[in-house]
Amino acid sequence: MDDPDAVRFLSLAASGEDDGGAPLLDAGVADDEVEDEDTEDEKPQSVYPPVEENSRDESLQMWMRKTKSTKLLSAAEEMDLARRVAEGDQRAKDILTEANLRLVVSIARRYSVPGISLADLIQEGNIGLIRAVEKFDYNKGFRFSTYATWWIRRAIARAVINQGRTIRIPVYVAETIHKLVRTSGLLRQQLSREPTQEELAAEMEVPVERVNEIMRIASEPLSLETPVGEKDSAQLADFIQSNANQSPSDAAVNLIRREQLDAVLDKLTPRERDVVRMRFGLDDGYAHTLEEVGQRFQVTRERVRQIELRALKKLRRMGPVDIRA
């Protein structure tokens, strides 16, 4: 939804590690960690008190001035602090968090959501930042800001999703709906027609009854005008495939434009670019297997792996990708 694959790709492309060409979660974000983040008991509490409504504007201005005056950390300082955080040093955790507050502000300001103030978006982003500090693995070799951006944007985007629904549903249900939409789009491309519920169920590995239930929930009142991306990007409606709306791939490109992903991929040949996009799910959020990419371009799995490795080596020569504001 919020292009975690793009951020993971950028961090992997800039790292010196060789993953054998597989699109692993090299930014240290595992599927089980994503699920754990959803539980209420484990949701990090912001170390900063909520802003009272009657002093919100003044407090927000003070907050922004504070973030601008905070010293940015060098890569060496980040690594030292991250190591201390892993050892349980609370002071190091506070320093690493505070040094990246301006990243939260920068990301939050790119969202414009009716009914959600900038201060609220920043507080949601702060929770994502704290989660990133807790889970960051300094041994991976990438910059903390690259890793933290995914957690911050995910926390903010979830708040936007909840605000957008006339009838609020659990976030995990919203993500299931997104998976259904994505699967439907993939099957539509493969079959050149609308997939049946049975085909959707088989592809998602769920009972047909579950597909029916998801479709029913998805049909409930929903505010399609709610922005779910950054400025000059997309609304929730942009993620729903139809002749009248923007395609998911176009919406994805718009959402990650500020990270200049297109400029990075322009360094590659058209074939390398297409392979990387499919392998890392940069267009549809689905990381395709070597076999799927090979079938698309009518080449062997090994040939796809070679193209991907060549592309990553090119990108690694560009040096680290730092997307902090």
- CATH 1.10.10.10 positions along the chain are 1-28+260-325
pTM over 0.85: no
Percent share of the chain, pLDDT over 70: 58
Q: Which fold has domain 44-164?
A: Four Helix Bundle (Hemerythrin (Met), subunit A) (1.20.120)
For the record, the structure tokens of 204 come out as 């998602």
Does the pLDDT of residue 243 top 70, yes or no? no
Residue written as token pair 């259904």: 180
- Predicted local confidence at residue 39, as pLDDT: 39
Q: Which pLDDT tens digit goes with each residue over 112-142?
A: 666 678 888 888 899 999 998 998 888 877 7
Does the pLDDT of residue 45 top 50, yes or no? no
Higher pLDDT, 230 or 152: 152
Does the pLDDT of residue 25 top 60, yes or no? no
- Predicted local confidence at residue 172, as pLDDT: 60
pLDDT band at 261 (very low <50, low <70, confident <90, very high): low
For the record, the structure tokens of 264 come out as 């990075």
- Predicted local confidence at residue 22, as pLDDT: 35
Does the pLDDT of residue 85 top 70, yes or no? yes
Render the burial of 26-55: b for 16+ CB within 10 Å, e for the rest: bbbbeeeeeeebeeeeeebeeeeeebeeee
Q: How many CB atoms lie within 10 A of CB 103?
A: 22
Q: Which fold has domain 1-28+260-325?
A: Arc Repressor Mutant, subunit A (1.10.10)
- Predicted local confidence at residue 224, as pLDDT: 41
